[in-house]
Amino acid sequence: MREITYLEAIREAMTQEMERDDTVFMIGEDIGVYGGAFQVSNGMLEQFGPDRILDTPITELALTGAAVGAALVGMRPIAEIMFMDFTTLASEQLVNQAAKLRFMFGGKATVPMVLRTPAGSGTGAAEHHSQSLENWFVHVPGLKVVMPTTPYDAKGLLISAIRDNNPVLFIEHKLLYKVKGEVPEEMYTIPLGESDVKRKGTDLTIVATSIMVSRALEAAEKLAAEGIEVEVVDPRTLRPLGAETIIQSVKKTGKVLIVHEAVKTGGFGGELAAVIAESEAFGYLDAPIVRLAGREMPVPYNRNLELHTVPQVEDIYNKARDLVKGRI
């Protein structure tokens, strides 16, 4: 099978859905002539024209509101916000309108829209362009939240998100855009709400999200050289959550390490820990549930400081090794 980048997989998903369905269009800042802040939509203006690739002024609130309105009248917009940090400016429309309208109108109105946004650190973009705010939105009933790790997952999940009749926040880590993986040329879907076991193991379960899945897999290979077999589970969608896959993995290994980039306080790891603690997996645990997350501070601009604010491969390796050996 051919290999393409995560970025190309996202572009292909959008292109194929726009070719298939005339109600799908894109709206966002600099997505047209410029091709998007990370060049995800590069070339799409030439293919689909300015009526379906809509450049907007720099106003996240307005462009998100336009997407909500378009979705309400039968369109399927894909809105792009340049950096996840600025979903804060769009929150009124996303949280108070998009997430609630289906409930407020008794199911007679739907909001089939996707809001795509790059998140996370690692590019030296400093405090205002490096945050991981996914759990802010996981908290909101009516929103679906997707965080794919691989190019294959990115394409399949984005097609599913575009076809979904609910608002979906689709979060793309900046450092994943250039990662390559096998992706079919034809259209395919991955259901929202299904976790995926990225690596099988027997000694420890690591549940990781986004870029941390890649780092967990790298740490798992180092641990395998020492005879420690780690199972790595990627939720892929945070809401709805495919909890059963996680629960069964924890029952098998008896130990679990949860890793994410966002700060620990109020992070998604707390929700995962609660899901495990409230399930039948709790009785199978041989050690405490352990979380490894970002430091309790804004992401700094300095490269060395930036690396130390979020978990790296060595951090995951050390924490997992200590957990397996009973040092935690």
Write down the mean pLDDT value for the chain.
97
pLDDT digits (tens, 9 = 90+) for 154-194: 999 999 999 999 999 999 999 999 999 999 999 999 999 99
Percentage of the chain modeled with pLDDT above 70: 100
pLDDT value for 1: 87
CATH of 196-324, one of 3.40.50.920, 3.40.50.261, 3.30.470.30, 3.40.225.10: 3.40.50.920
The reply to whether CATH 3.40.50.970 applies to domain 3-182 is yes
Structure tokens at 114: 């996707």
Q: What is the mean pLDDT of residues 202-222?
A: 98
Q: What is the DSSP string of 93-115?
A: HIIIIITTHHHHTTTS-----EE
Contacts of 14 (CB under 8 A, 6+ apart): 24, 26, 41, 44, 78, 158, 162
At 29-43, the pLDDT tens digits run 999 999 999 999 999
pLDDT digits over 266-292, tens only? 999 999 999 999 999 999 999 999 999
Model pLDDT for residues 229-273, shown as the tens digit of each residue? 999 999 999 999 999 999 999 999 999 999 999 999 999 999 999
Active site residues: 129
Show the 3-state SS of 119-136.
Answer: ECCCCCCCCCCCCCCHHH
- Residue 6 pLDDT: 98
The pLDDT of residue 27: 98
- Ordered by start, the domain boundaries in the chain are 3-182, 196-324
Q: Of all helices (H) and strands (E), which one includes residue 137?
A: helix 134-138
Look at residue 263 in the predicted model and tell me its pLDDT. Answer: 97
What's the N-to-C CA distance of the chain in angstroms? 43
Q: How far apart are CA 174 and CA 71, in angstroms?
A: 27
